[in-house]
Structure 1
Amino acid sequence: MKKMTLTTKILVSLAGGIIVGLLLFPLKNIPFVEHYIIGFFLKLGGSVFIKSIKMLVVPLVFISLTVGSSAIGDTKKLGRIGIKTLSFYLFTTAVAITIALVLANIIDPGNGLVIESISKTSTVVSDSKSFVDVLIDIVPSNPISAMAKGNMLQVIFFALLTGMGLTILGDKVSKIKDLFDQSNDLILELVNLIMQLAPIGVFCLIATTFSTLGYQAMVPLFKYIMTTLLALLIHVLVTYQGLLYLAAKINPIVFIKKFIPAISVAFSTSSSGATIPVNLEILREKFGVSKSTSSFTIPLGASINMDGTSIMQGVAVVFIASAYGIQLNMGDYMMVILTATLASIGTAGVPGAGPIMLSMVLTQVGLPIEGIALIMGVDRIIDMNRTAVNITGDAVCTLIIAKSEGEDISGEVKAELI
C-alpha cells in the first residue's frame, strides 16, 4: 500500500468497502456486527474523516479566495483582456453547473437510494427567498459570524472584498499578503494531510453504506458517475466547441486533434497546474497564440476555471438531495449556481478539494454534508475527466480572446480554419 498512489489507494478502499459492506449486509442485525463493527469501527473512521473535511471548509474558502482574488486584481493592468477572460470563465462555469443540474434532474441518479437509516440529520432545506433577499444576504453584517455559521456566500463575498483591498493597497500591505500566501500554503498542506485519511474514510463510509443498503446502492452510484460524465461531455462538445466555432471560427475537430496531448496529461495527472506547460506549447506552436495572451489566460484559467468541478457539484447536489428525500426548489438551484460559480475562483490548485468545496455548496442549500460519503470513493474516477474539461476550457478561452484581440491564431493550421 505504501508504494501505491493516493488515487490507487482510494480506489482499492472503495472496492474493499463495497465487498465488506455486502458481506456485512446479511449480518447487520446481529448485535456484535450492528453495534461494534458497523456502529463503532466503521462509524468512527467515517465520521472522523467527514468532520475533518468540515473543519477545513471555511478557512479553505476564505484564504484561497482572498489569495486568488488579490492575484486576479492584477488583471486591471491588462484592461479589456482581463475583463474578457474573467467574464468567459465565470459565464462558462455558470453554464456548466446549469447543464449538470438539468441533466441530473432528468436522470435522477439518486432515485431509489434511501439513506435516512444511515445518517440521521436535522439539516433541512431553508425556506426559499426572493432574489433581492438573496442578493442582500450576500453582504455579511458580521463576517466572523458568517464564518462561524458557515454562510458560504457571505464568506465568499468578504474574501473577494479582502483580496481586492490587498490589491489596491499594494506594497503597503505586503506583509499581510505574505501572511495570506503562507496561510494558503498551510491550508493546502492541511488538505493534503486530511486526504491521506481518504482511503480509510472511504472504506468506512462505503462499507457502512453497503452494509445497510446492500446491492440497492450500486445502481444509483453508477448512475451518478454516468450522469456526471455525460454532463462533462456535453459541456466540452456543445458549450466549448460551439463558442470556439462561433467566436474564433476554428473547426472543433481540428482543435480536438491538436489538443489531445494536453487532454492526455490532464487525464493522467488530474492537475490543471501540471498541464500548463503543454497547454501553452500547443496554443503557441499549433495555433499561433501570442505569448502575452496565453501567458495570462492559461495560468489564470488554471486558478479559477473549474467548470468540470462545478458539473460534479451540480450532479452531486441533486444526487444527495434525492438520496435523502429532500426536495429542492428553483431558489435552491439558483443558489447552487451562484455559490459554485463564485467558489470556482478558489477551487483550483487545491489537491483533492472537489469534495471539500462540494461541502460548502451543500451547506449553503441546507443539504447533509454526510452525503459526500456516497460519492467520495468514486470521485477520483470523475476527477480525471473533470480536469480534462477544465484545461480544455482554458484553451478555448485563450483562442477566443486571441481572436477578439485581432491575433492571427491560424498558426500551422491555417488551412484547417473554417
Structure 2
Amino acid sequence: MTIMVDRDIAEIGKTSFIHDPREGDRSKITLAKAEGSYVWDESGKKYLDFTSQAWSNNLGAGDPRVIEAAIAQTRALTHARPTFNTPALLELTALLRSITPGDLNRIGYCLHGSSAVEMAMKLAFKNKPDAKHILVLQDAYHGRSITTMAASWPHPKNPFSAISPTFHRVPHPDAYRPRLGLTVDQDVDLCLQLMEDTITKGVDGGVAAIMVEPIMGNGGHIVHPKRYHQGLRDICDRHGILLIWDEIQSGFGRTGEMFAADWYGIQPDIMTFGKGVGGGFPLAGIFASDKLEHFEGGEDQLTFGHFPVAMAAAVACVKAIIGDNLCANARKLGDYATERLQEMSARRKLIGDIRGPALFVSCELVKDRETKEPSPRAAGEVFRRGLEKGVIFGESRYLGLGNLIKIKPPLDCSMEDMATALDVFDAILGELEAEGIS
C-alpha cells in the first residue's frame, strides 16, 4: 500500500502548526496506515511501532473488533451530553467495575490523561476540603495541562509558571542510583522519611493526597520497590491522606497484570486511567473508592466526556485484552526482551540498566558504567537509526533530555516482531560503539 501526499500539501506541516517542530523533528513522518504492531508512512514504508503510539495501542492498531464496535456506535449515536446515559457508557462502566482493584467502583470519564489527573486532584480536595496541598514525586510526569505540568518534573524554561499552581516534589528511591552510597532499602527508608517530614514539617496547611505513578513513565521508567509503595500507603493511612495512583501509562495489561495496583498488591484511593483503554480512541478517567464523596452537579463535567464512540471501542478493547489473555502475552514477551537485553549488556557497554516489568521494558544508556553518566546522544541516535531501519523505539522525556530507550509494543505483538526489534537495537548499539559514540 502506498498513499502519496501532495508535495505542496506536505509543506504545510513545516510552517503551519503552533507546536514547535523541534520536539519531534526527527520523527515527523506522515503516518498513513496502522495495523497490529506496524505503521506505514505515506510512501509505503513499513515500521515496527514499539511505542504503541504513545503507549496507547495496548491492543494492536486497527483491531477489527474495536473498529466494528466504533462503526456500529457511530451509526447509532456519536454524541450525548454527559447528563444522559448511553448503552455504551453503562456497558463500559459495568465492565470496568468488574476488573478494578478493591473498592474502586466509582468511575469518572474524560478524553485525555491530563484531564483525568485533574479530576483525581479535584476529587481529593472535594474529600479533604480543609487541605491545601497535593504532594508529588521528583521526576513525576502527570501531563501537559497547566496544572499537570506543574505537578510534573521541571520543564526547562516553563513559560506558564505565572498561572501554574504550586506542588511540593518529594524525592523517591531509585534502585539504579541510590543516594549517598546507600543500599536500595536504605534509600527507600530515607525517601519515606522525607515524605513524612514533608507532611508534618514541610507544608503550611494539610495535605489532601500523595499522587504517584507506580512505575514512572517519562521520568525514567523507574520501578519502585513494593516496600516503598506499601510505605506510602501506610503514611497516607496514618495521616488521613488519600493515595492517588496515576496508571495512565501502566494500566490495562502493560505490566503483565490488568493494573500496576494488581502487580504490586497495593490499594490506592483514586486511580487514573487512559491511553490503552480505548483501542486507539480517546478515553480516560478515574476509578475512586466507594468511601469517597462524589462530585455534585456541575463540579466536573465535560461536553464530550462521555464520547459514545470511544466508549464502545473501549468495551471491545478491554474484552479483547481479557479474552485474548494479553496480560500473559505481555509477561512472556517482557521476559524474552529482558533476557535478550541482559545478554546484550555483556557485549554492549552503552547499556547501563534494564527495566521492566512485562511490556514496560526500557534500557538506560550511559557513557560510562562506573559513573553511570547518562548518554542522551546515544539514545537519540538509537531513535534516529531505528527509524531508518524500520523500527520506532521510544525515548524518555522530550527535547533530547532523556537517555532511556523504551521497548513497548502492543500487548499482542508477536515473538518474531519482538526478536526483530531487539536485533535492530543490538545492531545500532554495535554501530555506535564502532563509531565511538557514547
TM band (smaller chain): under 0.3
Q: Which has the higher helix share?
A: 1
Tell which has more relative contact order, 1 or 2 (C-alpha 8 A, sep 6+).
Answer: 1
Greater share of residues in strand: 2
